[in-house]
Each structure stands twice: as C-alpha cells, then as structure tokens.
Amino acid sequence: MIYFKFMANSVFIIVLLLLCNSCQQWLETSSHELQQQEEAKLEKKRIGAIITINNIIKEYTNKKYEVLVPSFWEENEKLCVNKNSLLTPESIETIERLPNDKVANTFDLILHLNDQGLMKYDIMETTYANKKLALLVDGQFYKAIEIAPLIDKKKNSFFIPGPFSDNLSKKIVEKAPVNYRYYNGIEEESNLQTLERLMNPQ
C-alpha cells in the first residue's frame, strides 16, 4: 500500500514538474512574441529613409553653409552640398512609387507636398531650372536630379525618376508619413483619442 502511495506521489510530482516546465516555456514564448510585436510597433514609428534635396557645390571651400556628404554607392566618395536643404521631410506629406520603365524591379517616386512644400518647389523650379540638384537619402548622396514640372497640381505632386530598389523605395514610401509627422511635431493619435473621435464625429 505504501509502495502504491509512493508511486502515485512520484507520478504526481513528475506531472506537476512537466506542467510547470511547459508553463514556463509558454510564458517565455509569449513574452518573446510580445517583445517582437512591441519592437515592430516601435519600428513603424521610427523615422528613417529621410529624403532631402540640396544644392550641389562644385568645390568645397570650408564655408559655414558647405558640408561634405558621403555617397550612397561608393564608400570613399563624397560630394559637397549646401547644408541648408531646399526640400525637407516636413514638406513631404506622402510618397508613392511607380515601376521604373527602364530597369526591371526598380521604381520611380512621386512626392506629394504640403502648401509649404509647394512654395519650396516653386523656388527650386524657378531658381534651379535645368540645374542638377542632389537627392540625399539619410544624409547620403543618392543621385543628381533636375526639378521636373508638377505632374498633378491639385495634389502638389512631382516626379523623381529612379531607379530605386524595391526595398529602398518601400522604406521611403512607408517612412514618409512618419517623417512628416515627426518633423512637424504631430503626435500620433492615441487609442483613447481615436475612440473619442469616432464616438463624437464633427
């Protein structure tokens, strides 16, 4: 009788240990998944793929407004630009991408500007007509561009030819609204604010 009680207790303890181990593994997995979800949410809110347009300076003379920026393509190459950008993220509300018709699996960009951006665009189009300007991505020289006419005046939209790779163009498109909100000091709407707005429509 004592033997059977001992065996029953042993089995109970083993089962209990297995359950505890399973629970611990489940909690660790759940915690890891939650952490990954939170990191993914934070990544969506982080700024990045920042586009600016800057005036190219032919020769670096160490003036206050001059800055040497690295090339996106070549590690040791640098280009001198005016550090006072002609167009910055706070003027670019959203960006679209279109398939590039010359290079497969690459894309062109369409920038949609706010009213401030439209004013800057008008200055660029007038002052820098037929002149090459530097397109920077995250402070790196990506390519030289010319300011093209607006393709849609109602949407304040203008075209930037690629080629931009699939991954880079996706990131530029995804980050444009994030950068716009950040540089304009616009905080994301909280869940409570969203609920209040939906319950109390204007």
- Going from N- to C-terminal start, the domains of the chain cover 1-45, 51-183
Least confident interval from 17-21, 51-55, 141-145:
17-21
Residue environment code for 22-36, b if the CB has 16+ CB neighbours within 10 A, otherwise e: eeeeeeeeeeeeeee
pTM here is 0.72
Q: In this structure, what DSSP letter does residue 49 have?
A: S
Range 98-105 average pLDDT = 94
The region, left, alpha or beta by phi > 0 then psi within -120 to 50, assigned to residue 139 is left
pLDDT higher than 60, residue 17: no
CATH T-level topology, domain 51-183 = Gyrase A; domain 2 (3.30.1360)
What is the H or E stretch that residue 1 is in? Answer: none
| Six token digits for residue 117 | 């951006």
> In the chain, pLDDT over 70 holds for what percent of residues?
70
H or E segment and range at residue 52 = strand 51-55
pLDDT at 3 over 50: no
Residue type, 202: Q
Copy the structure tokens of residue 4.
């059977």
The lowest-confidence range among 9-18, 53-62, 69-78, 189-198 is 189-198
